[in-house]
A and B are shown apart, each in its own frame.
Chain A
Amino acid sequence: MSRRRGSSVDWIFNRTRSAHIEYPLLTSFVALEIIFLLIPTLIVVFVSLESRSVVIFPPSSLSLRWYAQIPNHPQYIEAFIRSVEVAVMCTLLAIPIGISTGIGLIRYDIRFGNVIQVYLLLPFTVPLVVSGVILLILFGRLGVIGELWTVGIALTIINIPFMIWSVTSRVNALNPELEHAAKNLGADELQTFIYVTLPSIMPGVITGSLIMFVLGMNEFIVSLIITTPQIVTLPVELYTAIRANISPLIAAIASIYVIVAFITVYLADRIVGLEEFLRS
Chain B
Amino acid sequence: MSPQTRVTQLKWRLEDALVATKRRVIPSEIYQSPPSWVGYLLISPGVLLVSSLFVGLLILTWYSFLTFDPFEFIVYELTTESWTEFLTEPAYYGIFWRTLSLSALITVLSVGLAFPYAYLTIRVRSAFMRKTLLVGLFVPFFTGIIVRAYGWLIVLGKNGLVNAVLGVFGIGPVRFIGTKAGVVIGLLQIMIPYAIIMLAPAIQSIDRSLERAAQNLGANPIMTFRTVVIPLAKPGIAGASIVVFTITSATFAIPGIIGAGRVDFMANLIFKTLFSLTNYPLASSFSLGLVAVTSTIILIIFYLVGTGTLGISLEGEE
Contacts and interface: CB of A to CB of B under 8 A. Distances in A.
Interface of A: 4, 11, 14-15, 17-18, 22-23, 26-27, 29-30, 33-34, 36-44, 47, 55-58, 96-98, 100-101, 103-111, 114, 116-131, 133-138, 156-157, 160, 164-165, 168-169, 172-173, 188-191, 194, 214, 217-218, 220-221, 224-225, 235, 238-239, 242-243, 246, 250-251, 254, 257-258, 260-262, 264-265, 268-269, 274-275, 277-280
Contacts of B138: 261, 264-265, 268, 274, 277
B250 A38 contact: no
14 contacts: A40-B154, A55-B154, A103-B42, A108-B39, A130-B250, A134-B56, A134-B57, A135-B52, A160-B49, A224-B271, A225-B271, A235-B144, A268-B138, A275-B134
B295 A134 contact: no
A105 B50 CA distance: 15
B60 A97 contact: no
> Would you list the 7 A-B pairs with minimal beta carbon distance, nearest first?
A108-B39, A40-B151, A104-B42, A127-B250, A134-B56, A218-B144, A18-B126
Given A26-B120, A125-B246, A169-B317, A131 B201 contact: no
Nearest to A100: B42
Interface size bucket, B side?
35 or more
Interface of A is mostly: helix
Contact of A97 (B46, B267, B287): B46
Interface of B: 15, 18-19, 22-23, 31, 34, 36, 38-43, 45-47, 49-50, 52-57, 59-60, 63, 113, 116-117, 119-155, 157, 159-161, 164, 186, 188-189, 192-193, 197, 200-201, 204, 246, 249-250, 252-253, 256-257, 266-267, 270-271, 274, 280, 283-284, 287, 290-291, 294-295, 298, 313-318
B211 to A, nearest CB: 12
Interface of B is mostly: helix
A59 B41 CA distance: 60
Contacts of A57: 159-161, 164
B60 A235 contact: no
Given A108-B36, A188-B19, A122 B50 contact: yes
B266 to A, nearest CB: 7
